[in-house]
Structure 1
Amino acid sequence: MNSDLDPSLDLSDQLLELLRGAPEGLSEHQLIQALKARHSTHIPHLELTDKLVLFRTHFLVFNALYRLRDRLNGSGDAQLSISPLCVQLLPYVPGTAAALSELDPLRDYYLNLKNLRDTTEQDVERLLASFWTRMQGSEEKLAALELFGLHNGSQPLSLTVIKQRYRQLVSQHHPDRGGSTSRLQSINKAMEILQRYYS
């Protein structure tokens, strides 16, 4: 797992190699750390505490993931489930590929490299600030559950389960451990929201 990635491979192929070695899936954070540990030349090797570096690294990884998902769907080899908390290769199910890319504004955003080139540090600040203000009512609850990776209903939800997940995420994304302050703020905000619904 610690050997270098083949530098001739495209970032999407490097991600595919990492995901094939982790059938249970990997979080975005784990993918970025694995790319850095294996000396991928496709992402910046700078501190993620800088918001613009964090954004650019995130964008490059998600651009490659969406390109990979399109390619796997086109060939029928596998399906790729993409979310920041779990990126996972799944068995291919015919008929779902078209539905996946039909109305996917995130896919359109990440496949447009203009969004990478033209985004400034101020834009990143605004993106982070606007995320939670856009969320109202059930959207707010769903966004918080998605951030916690608890939106797929695979386990019964209780405040105990949510708090346990909150502690895991805080530990994983704390700036003292290389995480980002903005991600930690989002996790805290999500916890506030979920406490209102599950207390």
Structure 2
Amino acid sequence: MTELTAPQNTTRDSALEDLVGRIMDAAEALLRTHPEGMSELAMLRTLQDDPWRLLASIDFSSPTALYPVHFLLFHSLYRQRERLVAESGETIDISALNIRIRPTPDRGLQEAGQHDALHAFYRDIANHDLGETTINRMLDDFWQGITRPADEDLRLACDTLAIDRPPPDLNTARNAFRRLAMRHHPDRGGSNEQLQALNRAMATVRHHFRGYS
């Protein structure tokens, strides 16, 4: 039994590692052409289509069907982030709402900050194969905790709006948003990308305060 199982597992692991490598390369290529970032959903759908064709059809309504694909993408992104930090001093912001490459001013601090709980979870390829009960429990935990965004998402939002983190109140964020939106409006020399970034940041801050209501 052992002699039959080991080669099968080895072949599967090799195929999975090959797929992860291709997702890493594709994700970086996509992010280089989308400097404003992409949502997880947009990246998954893009990786299904030409020229990539790395992912099969995904049932987005089924947690047990979606989880392995979600895990593979995030596993690949965390590995690619490690590579970029080491090779170019860049990093990847990783969240379901926005994934983007950005420079990091202090490589040493960035490297030290990689090993958080999410990093540890997604870097362990064994977590790709979880049972339905475990996946559903994780989903329940997610919905219970979704009342506030992750700390990293809130930090990026506050940086975008140039306000303190955590923001003292929602009106402070709203005033900052209005001021920056006027300054970066395309009619005043700004860009749609800047406005989109401000809108995402404001949505994150609103989400943060909703968690206290």
Aligned pairs (5 A) from 1:152-171: 152-153=157-158, 154-155=160-161, 157-158=170-171
Name structure 2 gaps, 5 residues minimum: 1-18, 164-169, 175-205
The 8 Å contact of residues 52 and 124 in structure 1, kept in 2 or not, is answered as yes
The 8 Å contact of residues 43 and 60 in structure 1, kept in 2 or not, is answered as no
Aligned pairs (5 A) from 1:20-31: 20-31=32-43
Aligned partner of 1:106 in structure 2 is: 118
Aligned with 1:129 (options 127, 132, 140): 140
User: Any idea what SS the aligned residue of 1:96 has?
Assistant: helix
Query: Match of 1:81, as an amino acid?
Result: D
Aligned partner of 1:56 in structure 2 is: 68
C-alpha separation in 1, matches of 2:143 and 2:59:
25
C-alpha separation in 2, matches of 1:145 and 1:67:
18
User: Any idea what SS the aligned residue of 1:75 has?
Assistant: helix
Q: 1:52 to 1:193 in 2, by over 3 A?
A: farther
For this pair of structures, how many residues does the alignment match? Answer: 155
User: Any idea what SS the aligned residue of 1:10 has?
Assistant: helix
Query: Match of 1:72, as an amino acid?
Result: L
Query: Match of 2:131, as an amino acid?
Result: T
What TM-score do the two structures reach when normalised by structure 2? 0.60
The 8 Å contact of residues 26 and 86 in structure 1, kept in 2 or not, is answered as yes
Aligned partner of 1:184 in structure 2 is: none
Q: 1:69 to 1:191 in 2, by over 3 A?
A: closer
What TM-score do the two structures reach when normalised by structure 1? 0.64
Query: Match of 1:194, as an amino acid?
Result: R
C-alpha separation in 2, matches of 1:40 and 1:57:
15
What does the per-residue CA deviation read over 1:164-186, in whole Å, with 9 as the maximum and x for residues that have no partner? Answer: xxxxxxxxxxxxxxxxxxxxxxx
Q: 1:196 to 1:43 in 2, by over 3 A?
A: same
1:193, CA displacement in angstroms?
6.8
Q: 1:53 to 1:44 in 2, by over 3 A?
A: farther
C-alpha separation in 1, matches of 2:36 and 2:152:
20
Q: Is 1:90 aligned to 2:90, yes or no?
A: no
Query: Match of 1:27, as an amino acid?
Result: S
Name structure 1 gaps, 5 residues minimum: 1-6, 162-189
Which has a greater percent of helix? 2
RMSD: 3.3
Identical residues among aligned pairs (%): 25
1:47, CA displacement in angstroms?
2.0
Which one scores higher on RCO, CA 8 angstroms, separation ≥ 6?
A: 1
